[in-house]
Structure 1
């Protein structure tokens, strides 16, 4: 008998808004999502965390440097609001990130702990910022101190979007993977889920390709939402499409066809 490959399905952005939270909670109840990554910077986070605590899925810190405002006074002095991702990447690659990043990470970590009542089960980054130069050492140090796994962005598999996948790997992903290997930090063998978020993308076709490409123990990240879109969400239509598919019989059928079980 062929052994089933295991796949972690992690929903990102929990805490961003009511629609995102509703979608993630529904899919966790269905058993279609097996991990939840939490955005703790929005003011609504403590209330969102109360609903999340009822579930048994692993929950992680979705370290944020590009959405909304910093939590720590140390970083707010430099950034009243977080920069756009492209600006952040440029600053990181030129070694020009401001002081206060370590304090910001600790502030977001403590905000998670205060609301959930325990440390996170893993660490990753909103838009993969945890792997960037200047950010990566902070995350690695915290993961070692707390004994937590970190999302691997050093091996990002297809199908499609090869340029975007290579950018994620090159902007710190490969260096992150090397650091995790040398320090014995837990991580999945590969990451799948990179897409363009165009509402007309065939999400089922993408997932079927990711299921074929994913090695045993890989992680697939997703961004579902349910109901009226959250205000200002630029990928709301894509979120609705992910929600519809991940909650459908088609997803269950595709898992069976690919020989994959959710872990």
Structure 2
């Protein structure tokens, strides 16, 4: 298990561990949640993928996405998963607030037949939209790990996909990366039980989970949060650091190319991964600045986008020996 720092230590200035060798990197999946929520979120996913900053995103069935966006995401090799939704944009008889869903789940008042039907409809909608099954599954506001929902989801995944296909599907788990209250609350709402179900069903999962905060951080606070997450992310031996490689030429402005003619070591992507990775998933919720939509955390989304696109963020990834990976890199 990772040695998780206490909350007080997270507020200190973190220093890079220079004792680690260059072939002992941190395997990180950076996953953008809420693809489909708006064109501003979709544009953020595409622009970040073009810069090699992210390799995965979770799609909300019932949201909006264009054929052009899907084609671009395919060209960029972004792994797209299902963002199972009972509290957001997907219309259903069970849609409601997170609080009401938590109560209904834990009092076992949810109708399992209705839940299974909604899961099937969202998987159908995903496959109709993208022409393939999801690479992974997670949940909007982590609802995929709640009682009744988690059992229905595992049952549907097992029934829908063959054993061979099932091994190509991953799932998000929420084992806390850092020792903060909100992370443990999220994990306490079914995280252990969900991880156990995934293991029993041979579904690959991430090892640790970061990216949790109150959506009230400014640019400098976001930088400190990301430094704490990267500091706590465990390393994997025989893993060299590397950014994701864009699959086609992109403009120099806003990329590492403008900062010098020498490509930093983090961009030299090795061909192979070690057979055993300790993986950390860091979720994020960026959106490009736009005036044509509203959302409860819109301002936070736009700050996240500014941070993730920044040179400072790229420098942090290099400083902490990050190897950015995709869900599809870790399937068994």
TM-score, normalised to structure 2, is 0.71
Matched residue SS, 2:121: helix
State which of 184, 187, 197 in structure 2 corresponds to 1:179: 197
Matched residue SS, 1:23: helix
Other-structure match for 1:73: none
How far did 1:69 drift? 3.9
State which of 184, 192, 208 in structure 2 corresponds to 1:190: 208
Is the contact between residue 42 and residue 65 of structure 2 (CA under 8 Å) also seen in structure 1? no
Other-structure match for 2:96: 83
State which of 111, 133, 150 in structure 2 corresponds to 1:119: 133
Which stretch shifts more, 202-211 or 162-171? 162-171
How far did 1:46 drift? 5.6
TM-score, normalised to structure 1, is 0.89
Q: Distance in 2 between matches of 1:14 and 1:113?
A: 15
Matched, 1:219 2:281: yes
Do the aligned partners of residues 230 and 6 (structure 1) sit closer, same or farther apart at CA in structure 2, a change above 3 Å counting?
farther
Q: Which runs of 5+ in 1 are unaligned?
A: 71-75
Q: Distance in 2 between matches of 1:217 and 1:199?
A: 25
Do the aligned partners of residues 10 and 169 (structure 1) sit closer, same or farther apart at CA in structure 2, a change above 3 Å counting?
same
State which of 4, 20, 36 in structure 2 corresponds to 1:15: 36
Higher RCO (C-alpha 8 Å, min separation 6)? 2
Other-structure match for 1:156: 176
Is the contact between residue 41 and residue 64 of structure 1 (CA under 8 Å) also seen in structure 2? no
Q: Distance in 2 between matches of 1:170 and 1:121?
A: 25
Other-structure match for 2:7: none
C-alpha distance after superposition, 1:113-144 (max 9, x if no partner): 11111111011111111000010012222444
How far did 1:231 drift? 2.6
Which stretch shifts more, 118-127 or 226-235? 226-235
How far did 1:198 drift? 1.1
**Alignment RMSD (CA, Å):** 1.8
Matched, 1:209 2:209: no
State which of 132, 135, 142 in structure 1 corresponds to 2:146: 132
What is the correspondence of 1:1-150 to structure 2 with a 5 Å cutoff? 1-2=21-22, 3-42=24-63, 44-45=64-65, 47=67, 49=70, 52-70=73-91, 76=92, 78-79=93-94, 82-98=95-111, 99-144=113-158, 145=161, 146-147=165-166, 148-150=169-171
Q: Distance in 1 between matches of 2:120 and 2:70?
A: 18
Larger helix fraction of residues: 1
How far did 1:51 drift? 5.1
4+ runs of 1 displaced by more than 2 Å?
44-55, 141-146, 181-184, 229-232
Matched residue SS, 2:190: helix
Other-structure match for 2:261: none
Q: Distance in 1 between matches of 2:107 and 2:212?
A: 25
The number of aligned residues is 251
Q: Distance in 1 between matches of 2:299 and 2:40?
A: 12
Q: Distance in 1 between matches of 2:26 and 2:88?
A: 34
Q: Which runs of 5+ in 2 are unaligned?
A: 1-20, 235-277, 326-332
